[in-house]
Amino acid sequence: MAIGYLQIQARTAQDAVPLEGARVWVLDDEGNALYHLVTDESGETQAVSLEAPDRSFSQNPNYLGKPYAEYSVMVEAEGFEPVSVEKIPVFDGETAELPVMPAPLQERERSQTMEVLDVGAPAADFPCRQEQEGNAAEPRVLRQVVIPNPITVHLGVPDEPAANVQVPFLDYVKNAAGSEIYPTWPEAALKANIYAIMTFALNRVYTEWYRSRGYEFDITNSTAYDQYYVPGRPVYSSISRAADELYGEYVRRQGQNAPYFTSFCNGTTVICRGLSQWGTVTLASRGYSPLQILRYYYPDDIEIARTNIVTNALSSYPGTALRVGSSGLDVQTIQAYLERIRRNYPAIPAITDASGTFGESTQAAVRKFQSIFNLTADGIVGKTTWYKLSSLYTAVTRLAELESEGTSLGIGTVPPAAVLRQGSRGQDVVTLQYLLNVIAQYNPAIPAPAQDGIFGSETRQAVVAFQRAAGLTPDGIVGAQTWQALYRRYLGIEENVPAPGPDTGTDTIFYIVQPGDSLWLIARRFETTVEAIQRANGLTGSMILVGQTLRIPV
C-alpha cells in the first residue's frame, strides 16, 4: 500500500473563528481509531499519514475498484455540535484538507445532536451537462463577467425544496473539482478540468440562467443540470494549487465576452459532445497543454480570458502582486487586514514595518496567513491571497459589528411574544433580522437579510431557510417555536464562540490621504466608521487634506 495524508481544519463563522482544542478521531473503514488529535490555535491538526492504493489505479480509466482508501473523522469541540464525516477519500501522495464547521449549541441541545456528513465518492458516472430547455423567458445576460463571491448553490434539482448554501467561489471550484475528478491526474488534465468547471459556473452566473427563471440561486449541485458540489468534501492539495493559480480566468471564444458553455462528462460510461474528463488524462500524458486540451474538445478559437471583478470584495485586486519592496496604499490595506485577522488567528506574527512598506515582517505575516489557509506560502500577495485576506477581514469585522449591534439592541434571553409574518414592521422585526444575521454567519444555508425593520420577501426567505435547518415547518411565520429556536441558536453562539484576542493597539494603522479621498470612502475601505476616524484624530468636521496622515482604528 502507498501513503496519503489527511489534515483537519475546525473553524466556524466563515473561517473567522478557529476552534482551538477540538478533539479529533481518525477512523478506518471498520471504525477502529487510528489517530486522536487536538487542533491548534488556528483550528488545525497536523497532517497524518494513511494507507492508500497506488496512484496508478486512479490514472487508469479501466480500473474497476476504488483507487482510493476511505476513512472517517469525528470532531468534538466544547460548546459545539459534534460532527462525523464519513467515507473521506484519501489518495496516494495527496493531502486531503478536510474543513469541519461545527455549529455552536446551547447546553440542553448538545446531547441530542450530531451532524453526520457522507462526502461520498468522487468521479461518479455523471451525465453530460447540457443546456436545459424550458418554457421560461430567455436568460438575461450581465454586462460584465463577474466572479460571484459567494456563489449560491442549490443542493438538489432546481424545483426540489432543498437548501441553498452560499460558498466562496474559489472554495466552490475546489470542491466541485474534487467531486468530479481525481487529484492524482497530471497537472495539465487538472487545469483543463478546472477551467471547464470555473467557466461552466461563470456561464450560469453571466446568463443568469436560474435567477432569470425566478430561482434564488446561481447553480445546482445536480449533475443532471450542473456540476457536483458536496458540502464538507475535503480539498486536495494538487487541485487547490491549480485552482489558486487559475482563479479569475475562464474560457471564451475569440471576439466574445461570454464564458463559453463548457459541457463535460466522464468520457467512459457517459459520452458527450463536450470535454471528456478521462480523455484529458490521455491528452495530458501526450504532452498537451491545458489550452490544447480544451481546444481538442471545444472550438479551435477558444481562448483564456481573465476577470478581476469580484462581488462583495472590499477592493479589487490591484493587478500587480505585492512583495518585499512594494509600498503604498495597497500595502497599507493588506497590513490593516492582517493586523485585524491576527486577533482571531494569533499564530500570524505582528507587523513591525512602517505603514505602507512591505518589509520582512509583512512578508512573515503573509506567509503564515497563506500557510493557515492552504495557499502557496511564498509571502507574495497575488490575486488569490488578496481576495482571501479581503474575505477573512470582512468575516471577522462583521462578527465584531454584530456583537456591537446586539449590545445596543439589548437582545436578552427572552424571545418577543409577537407573531411575525411577511408585511410585519417594527422593533421585533429588527430583532428577528439581527438574530438571522448572526446565525447566518455560522450556517451558509441561511441568507442574511437587511436589518431595516420591514418583514419583506428577503426576510421571509431567511426565516424559511432557518426553519428548514432547525427541523421546523418552513411556513415563513415567526411564532413561539421559531422564536425559541432562534434564541437557542443565538445564545449558543454567545455562550460558546471564542472571543478574538485583545486589541493591543496594533489594529490602528496610519493612512496617508490620497487624491479623491473622503472620510466616508476611507471608512468604507477599512470597514470602520467616520465617527471612529474623527475620534481617533480629534476631527470635528469632514475636512481632510491630501498628504495628511490619519490614524485608522480597524
Could you read off the pLDDT of 267-297 as tens digits, one per residue? 887 777 899 999 999 999 999 999 999 999 9
Most confident of 22-31, 125-134, 520-529: 22-31
Residue 500 pLDDT? 83
- Cell representation of residue 213: 427563471
Residue 19 and residue 103 in one domain: yes
The residues near 133 (Cβ < 8 Å, ≥ 6 apart) are none
Residue of 202, 199, 191 lying closest to 292 (CA atoms): 191
| CA geometry: angle 313, 554, 442, nearest 5 deg | 60
Helix (H) or strand (E) holding 402: helix 383-409
Q: Is residue 123 situated within a structural domain?
A: no
Q: Are residues 189 and 273 in the same domain?
A: yes
Domain shared by 7 and 85, yes or no: yes
Q: By three-state DSSP, how is residue 377 classified? A: coil
Q: What's the DSSP call for residue 101?
A: -
Query: Mean pLDDT: which of 95-109, 280-294, 324-338 is highest?
Result: 280-294
Specify the higher pLDDT residue, 512 or 119. Answer: 119
Question: Across residues 202-226, what is the average pLDDT?
Answer: 94
pLDDT band at 133 (very low <50, low <70, confident <90, very high): very low
Q: Is residue 469 part of a domain?
A: yes
Are both 492 and 511 inside the same structural domain? Answer: no
* pLDDT confidence band for 134 (50 / 70 / 90): very low
Are 34 and 26 in contact by the 8 Å Cβ rule? The answer is yes
Q: Are residues 464 and 551 in the same domain?
A: no
Instruction: Check if the beta carbon of residue 184 is closer than 8 Å to that of residue 281.
Output: no
CA-CA distances (angstroms) from residue 4 to 40, 47, 89, 222, 227? 22, 10, 10, 29, 26
pLDDT band at 488 (very low <50, low <70, confident <90, very high): very high
* Same domain? 82 vs 31: yes
Do residues 264 and 158 share a domain? yes
Cα distances from 334 to residues 99, 158, 340, 341, 397, in angstroms, run 25, 40, 10, 10, 14
* Helix ranges restricted to H, 70-110: 107-110
Q: Which residues contact 127 (CB under 8 A, 6 or more apart)?
A: 223, 224, 265, 270, 272
Q: Is residue 386 part of a domain?
A: no
Give the pLDDT confidence score for residue 312 in this predicted structure: 81
Where does the pLDDT of residue 137 fall: very low under 50, low under 70, confident under 90, or very high at 90 and above? very low
What is the rounded distance in angstroms from the CA atom of residue 309 to the CA atom of residue 131? 26
- Does the pLDDT value for residue 321 go beyond 80? yes
* pLDDT higher than threshold 80 for residue 123: no
Provide mean pLDDT across the span 451-469. Answer: 95
| Residue type (1 letter), 277 | Q
One domain for residues 10 and 79: yes
- Assess whether pLDDT exceeds 90 at residue 68: yes
pLDDT at 509: 67
Other beta carbons within 10 Å of 27:
17
66 and 162 both lie in a single domain: no
Q: What is the pLDDT of residue 413?
A: 85
Measured between alpha carbons, how far is 333 from 554 in angstroms, rounded to an integer? 11
Write down the residue that cell numbers 463559453 correspond to: 260
Residue 416 in contact with residue 428, Cβ under 8 Å? yes
* 9 and 156 within one domain: no
Q: Are residues 299 and 166 in the same domain?
A: yes
The domain boundary, picked from 118, 141, 163, lies at 118
List phi, psi (to 5°) of 418. Answer: -65, 145
Question: pTM value?
Answer: 0.88
Q: Structural domain of residue 175, as residue ranges? A: 151-306
Res 136: pLDDT = 42
Handedness of CA 14, 18, 23, 25 (dihedral sign): positive
In a domain, 255, yes or no: yes
Share above pLDDT 70 across residues of the chain, in percent, rounded to a whole number: 94
**pLDDT tens-digit series, residues 141-183:** 777 899 999 999 999 999 998 999 999 999 999 999 999 999 9
- pLDDT, residue 404, reads 82
- C-beta atoms surrounding 50 within 10 Å: 21
Give the 3-state secondary structure of residue 347: coil
For residue 542, the number of C-alpha atoms closer than 13 Å in the C-beta half-sphere is 9
Residue 384's identity, in one-letter code, is T
DSSP at 244 = H
Q: Residue 505 pLDDT more than 70?
A: no
φ, ψ for residue 413 (rounded to 5)?
-120, -5
Strand boundaries in 178-311, DSSP class E: 219-220, 235-236, 249-253, 264-265, 275-276, 302-306
Number of domains in the chain: 4
The rounded mean pLDDT for the chain is 90
Percentages (nearest 5) of helix, strand, coil residues in the chain: 35, 20, 50
pLDDT, position 381 = 97
User: 297 and 161 in one domain?
Assistant: yes
In this model, does residue 537 exceed pLDDT 70? yes
The secondary structure of residue 219, as a DSSP letter, is E
Using CB atoms within 10 Å of the CB of residue 532, give its burial: 0 to 12 exposed, 13 to 18 middle, 19+ buried.
middle
Largest Cα span, the chain: 74
Query: Three-state DSSP class for 484?
Result: helix
pLDDT at position 132, please? Answer: 47
Q: How far is CA 436 from the centre of its chain?
A: 19
Is 318 a member of any domain?
Answer: no
Residue 374 lies in a domain: no
Sequence-distant (6+) residues with CB within 8 A of 511 are 332, 355, 522, 526, 549, 550, 551, 552
Residue 216 in grid coordinates: 434564488
pLDDT band at 135 (very low <50, low <70, confident <90, very high): very low
Q: What is the mean pLDDT of residues 395-399?
A: 90
Assign 304 to helix, strand or coil.
Answer: strand
